[in-house]
Amino acid sequence: MNISKASRTIILTFALITACGRDLTDDPIPVITFADGIVNLYLPENQPLAVDGGYRVLSAISGHSVGVRGIILYRKDVANYFAFEINCSYHPNEASANVSVHPSHLYMTCTGCGSNFSFTDGSPTGGVAWRPLRRYQTSLSGGYLTVTSDIL
């Protein structure tokens, strides 16, 4: 069989991309619906959310579990709060696929795969993860932040 030079180049390029690429076959994060949770930003335990860049890790809001493994609430600025899933987006069914805030407080990191994620949008900034963290809908009304299971 005689393969043209162009065909060989395409085949070689594809082989190199798939051999050196990331593992894009991992499982999706499970979808969990939960009751809307209301966070009273005036309570003392929520003081970290009173400043830009502040965060709080929650496994439950208003007595109800949130997220698959909990959420990281992050305050971008006075009007914007983000709720990120703690369950890492890379091989999320592994027990070690848990995201926490790095000790520097500058980004989130997975204890299992070592990937890092941005507070800006949950996108991976280092490591093997290729998908962003799941982000849930939040809305602010006065000093009350509502977190829903609606995925952004």
User: Where in the chain are the domains?
Assistant: 27-151
- Nearest 5 degrees, angle CA 150-CA 131-CA 96? 90
Cβ–Cβ under 8 Å, residues 1 and 11:
no
CB 34 within 8 A of CB 63: no
CA distance 59 to 38: 13
pTM as predicted:
0.82
The predicted-structure confidence for 13-49, as pLDDT tens digits, reads as follows 444 344 445 555 678 888 989 999 999 999 999 999 9
* pLDDT tens-digit map of 66-106: 999 999 999 999 999 999 999 999 999 999 999 999 999 99
Please identify, in words, the CATH class of the domain defined by 27-151: mainly beta
User: Among 5-14, 107-116, 121-130, which stretch is predicted with the lowest mean pLDDT?
Assistant: 5-14
> What six digits make up the tokens of 65?
């579990």
